[in-house]
Amino acid sequence: MNDKQFRFGVVGSPTTGSEWIKTVRQAADLGYSTVLMPDGLQLPSPFPSLATAAAVADIRVGTFVAAAPLRTPRAAAWEAHTLTVLTDGRFEFGIGTGRPVAEQQTAELGLPWGSAKERRDQVRQTLDHLQQLDGDRRTPIMLAAGGPRALALAASRADIVSLAKDAMTPRAEVAQLVRDLRELAGSRADDIELAMNLFAAGTRELPPWTKRAAGVEPEVLEASDSLMMLRGTPQEMSDELQRRRDEFGTSYISVNATYLEDLAPVVELLNGK
């Protein structure tokens, strides 16, 4: 049984400054511990956006996740270290090899996309540079783990591991992923915080963007036992998250900002548990 306390994050994609500030302040007021932001040229840059977030509310901030090919390793480490310094240690650096859409964006920046191995090496190099820049500081690292090579990297370098499987992955496969991660991590296993991201929470009808995010029609996702869904009353959702913590060890739960208010009663029920 996992005894790590729950904490909750909100994944936001700001389009205006006022909207972003409203989301950040609301998340802090409702008891969320972290505001997270994706990376990509279709959005404002995550690093200044998160600096703004940390300045307007007493909340942790993090990239979810920075795409390594969009910056050189030294530049990415510089940005991450800067946020650690300016937020007095409230920054969590999520980094990965980049989703497929990042290939075109990398070309727009005049940077190489590289092979999967080269992009993983970029992640390692970035973390090495960050460690050097941090010195006595320690920026928490979040890595996503789905395949065996990403799993090995996460086991050796991550403080937080986001379980990166698609929305229709069976629970048994996720459980096996966690067992593999713990075996690879060895003595570090108990120190790693396991994270799970939710597409939706509560009882509201799923929005159209769910299909793009999940890769299946909303009604198919709704009818499934997807771990990226959390449905029901606040008590039912709280009970389910505690079952997932017992089953998989997941204690860091993030949700799309669309459902910030829907998950808020669960945050209230489980904060400190």
Amino acid in the structure at residue 235: Q
CA 151 → CA 161, 187, 191, 197, 232, distances in Å? 9, 16, 15, 17, 32
Q: Is the pLDDT of residue 1 over 70?
A: no
Tokens of 231: 């449905």
Amino acid in the structure at residue 88: D
Q: Is the dihedral of CA 33, 39, 43, 49 positive or negative?
A: positive
Return the SS3 of 184.
helix
pLDDT, tens digit (0-9, with 9 covering 90-100), for 148-191: 999 999 999 999 999 888 888 999 999 999 999 999 999 999 99
pLDDT band at residue 2, thresholds of 50, 70 and 90? low
Q: Is the pLDDT of residue 209 over 80?
A: no
Q: Which residue has the higher pLDDT, 187 or 218?
A: 187
Q: Which residue has the higher pLDDT, 223 or 263?
A: 263
pLDDT, tens digit (0-9, with 9 covering 90-100), for 30-74: 999 999 999 999 999 999 999 999 999 999 999 999 999 999 999
Burial 204-228 (b: 16+ CB within 10 A, else e): eebeeebeebbebebeebeeeebbb
Q: Give pLDDT, residue 207.
A: 75
C-alpha span between 96 and 118 (Å, rounded): 12
